[in-house]
Structure 1
Amino acid sequence: MFYRLNILRIAIKNRFFPVQNSIPKQNFYRSLSVLNTSDEQYSTAHSIKQSPILESVHEKTLASGQFSIMMVSSLQGSFLKSLVQMSKATKVLEIGSFTGYSALCIAEGLKERGPEAKIVTLEKDEEFFKTAKENVESSGLGHMIELKLGAALDTLSTLDNAIQYDLIFIDADKENYINYYNTILERNLLSDDGTIIADNVLFSGFVSQVGEGKDPFYLQPIYKSAAEHLHLFNEYVAKDQRTTQVILPCFDGLSIIRKRKV
């Protein structure tokens, strides 16, 4: 029994904090991805290539250490860029800037939308904010990106709600997903044809385990709490008559949320 528990602890540790040399560098930061490694590598190889700007920020973030797991993968970055292009969004709001990589992916997708196109990105951590600001300012896309420092809920409550956003990307602390969602809808920050994209809603399969009544006791408390809060978020949105939701089992789980048409 103890032997099996030790093996399990090692497996969990390697899953969340893998040794960098044990897997290819480009996959180190995405050990939580629902896609398996070979599928992600194949998909990336057969998808549009990233610009040198994005590659540079991506590589710098990878080299920054274990926090790099918080960054979206290059494949997901390309997806965000394409989504912005397909949706013809002009105003985008991002909750959770980290190093600015995802904001830059979105900004590249906005470039063809004209001078009014803009992304507002929110970050509460001062060090991450500083890094994101440096990356944005050196990218040549800074005129399209507005960074705001502070707790996202506080910032959301002070945003000018005369401005609505066509796409809102939520990728921040999981405990506040429901609060972010409600604030967005109550303050009418989402345009009538807009879309909310919530990231990590499957959390490497642990959210569905919670939903099935299983107790992922082997997880560190912070990860267990995140899985529980994400399940509550998915349940909340599924029952909310204001919106419709589709959860895609790709990356680490993406929830596509749109206003319900009356």
Structure 2
Amino acid sequence: MSTSKAKVLIAFDFDHTIVDENSEPFVFDKLAPNGIPDDIKSLYNRLGWNEYVGAVFAYLHSKGTSVDEIKKALYEVKLTAGMKQLLDLIKSEGLEAIIISDANSVFINELLKKFNLTETFSTVYTNPSKVEENGLITISYYHKQDWCDLSTVNMCKGHILDEHIKTNGGYDKVMYVGDGYNDLCPALRLRKSDVVCPRIGFSLKKSIENLAPPHELHARVVNWLDATELLQVTKSLTEKD
């Protein structure tokens, strides 16, 4: 076996993966305990999640909710069990980690700062959001895609993963850690030398188990609930085959 380390990429989803909540609905439930108006709820089915999130931010702003109040609610989100140990290992081993998430940049960046994880990830791919001068948080699409039936219009995670790999000259091994149906596309793009890690109790695991032609999974599957269950497979990635 070669003594040189393999070039490794570990890609993470964010909600229900790095953190144990779905951050946007978690915050909305805290700040609108009586619920979101039906006309805003209907936007999700008609126009998609991003449009819904943008409308909820506008609704909260119209009710006088401040950015500080939003951040206070956001800071109640906790890391998934074992995730700190896993990310500490990744950092100590000098492995490259990225985030590919359908959340938004304001929320992810705030939580990474809170958990002192900003330097752990080389890149964060997510829907751009910003705080306007009047205190309104606005959100836009990461991109607009029409090529992937497994993905929403605003984000094909598989395409993002492929582009990152190409831009960085390829990797010996890739590990993808996620939970949702929108994590299936990147999982299907992995090779036999790669690993996909679906979280137990969420839809990615079921989607992989129910996979049917023409879709085919090549990567090794390591299911997990507590992220410490991924420590051993992460250590093994550094070994060249």
Give the TM bin, normalised by the shorter chain: 0.3 to 0.5
1 or 2, which has the higher helix percentage? 1
Which gives a bigger RCO, structure 1 or 2 (Cα 8 Å, sep 6+)?
A: 2
TM-score by length of 2: 0.40
